[in-house]
Structure 1
Amino acid sequence: MRPEALDPVLLRTFVTVADLGSFTAAAAAGGYTQSAVSRQIAALEDLCGVELFARGVRGVRPTPAAEHLLPHARALLDRLADTARALDGLRRLDAGTLRIGAFPTANVALVPHALARLREARPGVRVVLREDLTERLTPMLDAGDLDVAVVSTHKAPAPAGDLVRLLDDELLAALPHGHPLAARRRVPPGGLADDPWIVADDPAAVAALHAR
């Protein structure tokens, strides 16, 4: 017999009849007619190739074959119930895994605050956080390796897809005393294009400065 041939409806009716000892009582409990329960048990007996209940005037009693099948049927129905609860949890966003990518400075304050609120609202959700540059996060998002990514558009163009603007982050420039722009509250990026820069040893950062 193929496992997929086992119908959970038949197994549930089988367990109910075994627990209540009566087709009539099982019909009332399951919202069926007595004849419908009888047909379901007959269908399961045909599938198993054995008699599951000895019929009598005062009801039915499980046969040895039914006693052997009963714990397996209960376990299978329990697993199905667990599966249904897990699917409900995913649908309500109460369970599952959320894969987030973010560029390094976003992980200083922005992402931790958001994760704290998520953990409070959805404690059953497991979060996997990946830190990387926007240039590497965007392909991961496109490939389906991330569910959401916090990216920066000051060095790279905005990625395709659903983009939600979170905030405008100021870029601060530290200038030496005596620099022509040191007294300015705002400095246009082009005004520093010909100045020497101190940058992290990151090829992507260096390339972004040359691009400007």
Structure 2
Amino acid sequence: MLDPWTLQVMVEVEERGSFSAAAEALSMTQPAVSRQIGGLERRLGVPLFRRTARGVKATAAGEIVVDQARDVLARLRALEMRVGAFTSAETGHLRLSAFSSANTWLMPEVIRRFSRSHPGVRLSLVREDAAGPMAAIKEARVDLALVTAWSLYADPSAAKHDPSAELLEPADFTGVDLLPLLDEEFQVALPADHRLAGLRRVSLSDLCDEVWIEGGYPDCLGPIPQLAEALGRSPRIGFFCEDWNGRQALVAGGSGIMLVPTLVRGAVHPGVVRRPTAPSLPSRRLYAASLAPPFRLPAVTALLDVIAHVSREQIPA
């Protein structure tokens, strides 16, 4: 098997154009570099460099060896970095997932602060896994996921219509740690010129005839029966929009009203006002899900500290 150090010497000679320049860069002597290249040529059975007026140049075979050597060395460095992520919070690549409202303020702020304090760790924000956040965490497709209490139901869509719906089985949480972050409250978002916009608190019964704007789970109207009880009838849903900015634009344009959770309060459209409701709607708990120790990466532990700290701060008004 070829020695990685010999491959590094080979690459250095090709890049520097001479044995002496490579020796200086590698803190070696020129004869030592010559011996390394000579041994590699004997091992492979082909000449790797030819002398020129300005130094040495790789032969056709040498160019192939250099290309392959670069690839091998890059893979070895990647291996060291990935294994190093299990022992250090300063290296590695973390994949995160979150839902739309969490991405309006919380996740951007967490990513900004963590990247500043841990510049050696690369972060990626990925699409939520079709199999669900718990499965994605357990199967190592995601390192950390922001989830709500609504995501802990076996069938989240059924939970919208039945608050007593079945929760996930304990086995679904095996190996997964849930860190509670905050309890989100809900307010109603109205057009700035709405007839009730001037009130400090809006009675939900006064909104029974309004058109509601629904969003994708978990950024939706939540448990429908609880909202329907407060309204005195089922909410009349006229629009569906996944994007928070699009939904707020619909509200600002007078197309309908919607619910706004705590996490979105720092990104409210200027044409929209938000008001507490009477009665208050049930809050929802926000969690950070990750692998439980000892399988959790040190960088994930450091990221959890940042998320917990940001979550404890005052949410933008």
Provide the TM-score with structure 2 as the length reference: 0.37
Task: Give the strand-richer structure, 1 or 2.
Answer: 2
Task: Give the helix-richer structure, 1 or 2.
Answer: 1
Provide the TM-score with structure 1 as the length reference: 0.50
Tell me: higher relative CO, structure 1 or 2? Use CA pairs within 8 A at least 6 residues apart: 2
